[in-house]
Structure 1
Amino acid sequence: MDDRLPAHLEVSGLIRAVQAQGGFATVIAKGERDAGTLIVICCENGTKLRAYERMPQLDGTRDWVLSKSQDTENPQEFAEYLARRQRQDSDLWILELDIANAERFIGIVHCNN
């Protein structure tokens, strides 16, 4: 039995949490309402984009993993990565969180911020 939170509820919760802290959050691509997968783009003031996806772990859990960082010398590569992921997974949601230390909203803590 899969007891994951439906994708649309998780997306809605993340948006509200970021907005409550004064940030901006938006859905870039809408996936399957209940069982869609999710890529979360973390950034601050629209810069230094980082894409996180949940990946299955050996113990059966699914942890957020950094799958792509924006290269400042080739920013188009980041958009191409997202487009490729969308072609691979029609159920994919892409959500952008634009706020300082955006990773905290998906449970990733950075000590050097």
Structure 2
Amino acid sequence: MARLATGVMVSALIRAAETAGGSVMVLARGDITAGGILLLTLERGANPRFFERGVGPDGRASLISSGPAEIANEGAATAYWRRRRERDSDLWVIELDIASAERFAAETIGDG
């Protein structure tokens, strides 16, 4: 089965979030075809958490918790994703602010 290009998944996430009343900001663009996706999720600007699209225990694409368990402030969040980008310039970094952000992202790009 062909894998959907990362740029297509990011575009779908942006459209879906905006349609659902959320906001999305591309913090860093990665490889349009095969780059990874790191999500910084927020709910009404609070409760920041990182997730990334990866392979789950069942071998299917899924959303996996990533990064620090507690993020003290915006500066700490920015420092984390910038360190990740230093090691992987193909990585997309997306900020998603929407109700039930983790569930929304998993349903939109988790097993796409």
TM-score by length of 1: 0.81
Structure 2 counterpart of 1:34:
33
Q: Give the superposition deviation at 1:40.
A: 1.3
Matched residue SS, 2:66? strand
Q: Give the superposition deviation at 1:51.
A: 0.9
Percent identity between matched residues is 39
**How many residues are matched?**
106
Which is helix-richer, 1 or 2? 2
Q: Give the superposition deviation at 1:16.
A: 0.5
> Tell me, which stretches of 5 or more residues in structure 1 are unaligned?
109-113
1:12-66 superposed Cα distances (whole Å, 9 cap, x missing partner): 0001101001111111100011111101111022221111012334543232111
CA-atom RMSD in angstroms: 1.9
Structure 2 counterpart of 1:46:
45
TM-score by length of 2: 0.82
Structure 2 counterpart of 1:111:
none
Distance in 1 between residues matched to 2:6 and 2:86, nearest whole Å: 18
> Tell me, which stretches of 5 or more residues in structure 2 are unaligned?
108-112
CA contact (8 A) 2:30 2:91 kept: yes
- Does residue 103 of the first structure (1) align with residue 102 of the second (2)? yes
> Looking at CA atoms only, which structure, 1 or 2, has the larger radius of gyration?
1
Matched residue SS, 1:107? helix
CA contact (8 A) 2:41 2:48 kept: yes
Distance in 2 between residues matched to 1:89 and 1:18, nearest whole Å: 26
Q: Give the superposition deviation at 1:89.
A: 0.5
Q: How does 1:53-64 map to 2 (within 5 A)?
A: 53-64=52-63
Distance in 1 between residues matched to 2:11 and 2:74, nearest whole Å: 28
